[in-house]
Amino acid sequence: MRKWLSKNIIRIYAGLALFYIFIPVAYTIVFSFNTSKKRNINWQGFTFDNWLNPCDADGICEALGNSLRIGFISTLISTVLGTMIAFAIGRYAFKGRSSVNLLIFLPMATPEIVLGASLLAMFLNLGINPGFWPTIIAHVMFCISFVVVTVKARIAGLDPKLEEAARDLYANEWETFRRITFPLVLPGVAAAALLAFALSFDDFIITNFNSGTVSTFPKFVWVSATRGVPPQANVVGSVMFLGALAIVILGQVVNRRKVR
């Protein structure tokens, strides 16, 4: 028994850790099929109606649409700007480079409640009311740091000999970037975009400060928690989880095919 434990202790620990992590996910998926209409706390029965009619809960689809729009726009802006900043920091030596590196990490290290309150105060001082676009600006501010860090790590791992070989074959700077550099960096850019979208879609504290009357999915869940989160919210959460899982599995399959 002791010999068997010494060989499998890591597997047992990993299994218990994964079980602990995925309990809330399993709860969300299972209770998305509950027949409860309002207080989705106790199991009452199995039904597919929640999946067939996800907009039955008042305001959930509007909140989900706002979260998706804010997520897509802020992800697009932060990915473009963050990628350019990552190339500037990772490839070029310029005055103030170390200071820029430090400033990039500040939004990541700043507590969300501080960042959200500071942005709200800034918008009010500028005469800008909280709403849709101030929320996007706030999301870009904290998403761009994660994009820079992710893309910069990918750039640091590139082999410069590949670009040198392209220039030796008479490719100019644009052709080298388009055919060699960008395809190699693209997986890092895609990973950064997915991370930025997940952070934007999931954010509540900064959004709650700067969104005003605009309802997002995290705000909808928080408001509904006082009277019972409807099962349709579990449906949305399950779809988002399964969609993210499908993207990860697809990426792994594509990478394995490329390796082969």
pLDDT tens, N- to C-terminus, the chain (260 residues)? 788 888 888 888 999 999 998 898 888 888 888 887 767 777 888 888 888 888 888 888 899 999 999 999 999 999 999 999 998 888 887 887 888 888 888 888 888 899 999 999 999 999 999 999 999 999 999 899 999 999 998 888 887 788 888 887 888 888 888 888 888 888 889 989 999 999 999 899 999 999 988 999 999 988 887 777 888 888 998 998 888 888 888 878 877 887 77
Distances from the Cα of 83 to the Cα of 69, 185, 190, 200, angstroms: 21, 9, 11, 17
Q: Is 70 exposed, middle or buried (0-12, 13-18, 19+ CB in 10 A)?
A: buried
Cα 75 → chain centroid: 9
Collapsed DSSP state (helix, strand, coil) of residue 34: strand
Q: What is the CATH number of the domain that holds 117?
A: 1.10.3720.10
* CA 130/CA 135 separation, integer angstroms: 7
Residues 63 and 117 in one domain: yes
* CA 27/CA 237 separation, integer angstroms: 11
Task: Calculate Rg over the CA atoms of the chain.
Answer: 23
> What pLDDT is recorded for position 74?
95
* 3-state percent helix, strand, coil for the chain, nearest multiple of 5: 75, 0, 20
Amino acid occupying residue 20: Y
Collapsed DSSP state (helix, strand, coil) of residue 185: helix
**How many separate helices (H) and strands (E) can be counted in the chain?**
12, 0
Residues 18 and 79 in one domain: no
Residue 172 resides in a domain: no
**CB-based contact 216:66 (threshold 8 Å):** yes
Closest CA to 26 of 218, 232, 229, 234: 234
Residue 118 resides in a domain: yes
Residue 119 resides in a domain: yes
| Packing angle, helices 132-156 and 182-202, rounded to 10 | 140
Which DSSP category does 68 fall into?
H
> What pLDDT is recorded for position 243?
87
> What pLDDT is recorded for position 197?
93
Closest CA to 69 of 193, 167, 170, 197: 197
Residues 151 and 250 in one domain: yes
pLDDT digit string, tens, across residues 114-136 = 999 999 999 999 999 999 999 99
Residues 117 and 199 in one domain: yes
Residue 170 resides in a domain: no
pTM of the model: 0.84
Residues 100 and 25 in one domain: no
Residues 89 and 211 in one domain: yes
Instruction: Return mean pLDDT, the chain.
Output: 87
Structure tokens at 166: 């392209």
Q: What angle do CA 81, 254, 11 make, to 5 degrees?
A: 100
Residues 1 and 126 in one domain: no
Q: Side-chain half-sphere of 181: how many Cα atoms within 13 Å?
A: 21
Residue 162 resides in a domain: no
Residues 126 and 221 in one domain: yes
Residue 44 resides in a domain: no
Domain carrying residue 16:
1-31
Residue 133 resides in a domain: yes
> What pLDDT is recorded for position 228?
74
> What pLDDT is recorded for position 104?
85
> What pLDDT is recorded for position 124?
92
Residues 110 and 5 in one domain: no
Phi, psi of 34 (to 5 degrees): -80, 145
